[in-house]
Chains A and B, each alone.
With several copies, the nearest count.
Chain A
């Protein structure tokens, strides 16, 4: 029962991305295999040095950097989306696996979640 949570929402402007992350961390906490895929506007969750306190929110980049410690099996980022938003190893947090989303990554999971 492998789950993939798709993160295709822009960060902070709405809550659904944050709530999708909570789902992933919750599965991991209950020892269910789960991976994250950042794609589209969602790759912007991966930017280093977010200062969400500027809008009185909590930054998630440190949580994401620690995701595998909490049991998330992998963090994938869609290569094309990263390129579109100018994200590379210097601007992205560590531990991200670049993926070609169209090459069947989704097919490897039994359960795929996309919160719009």
Chain B
């Protein structure tokens, strides 16, 4: 399991200013976790997500967002906790 420098937790909808701030601060070795309204990023054609992306599965289900495993890995709260433990630091946008 590769180490994570920064885990970015993003719960904003794609149109929110913090959404852009978050994406522009992603670096190599970082991971992005989409939660709540943030999961809409997976169906937004105006966006391209790269790198190591996770999405919170209950939030995907609630919004009927099809999880594309090639773009983002769907995880549950247990795995979210594990990610926050694995990462050197965590930023909640």
Contacts and interface: CB of A to CB of B under 8 A. Distances in A.
Interface of A: 6, 8-14, 39-41, 44, 47-55, 57, 59, 61, 83-86, 91, 101-102, 104, 106-107, 110-112, 114, 116
Contacts of A8: 17-18, 21
Interface of B: 6, 11-18, 21, 24-25, 27, 36-37, 40, 43-46, 57-59, 61-65, 89, 91-93
A41 B13 contact: yes
Contact of A85 (B37, B43, B57, B89): B43
Contacts of A83: 45
Contact of B46 (A54, A84, A116): A84
A54 B55 CA distance: 14
A44 B21 contact: no
A53 B91 CA distance: 28
B64 A49 contact: yes
A102 B24 contact: yes
A9 B61 CA distance: 18
30 contacts: A8-B17, A8-B18, A9-B13, A10-B13, A10-B37, A10-B40, A11-B63, A12-B59, A12-B63, A13-B13, A13-B37, A40-B17, A41-B15, A41-B17, A44-B43, A49-B64, A50-B64, A55-B58, A55-B59, A84-B44, A86-B45, A101-B24, A101-B25, A106-B6, A106-B25, A106-B91, A112-B89, A112-B91, A114-B92, A116-B12
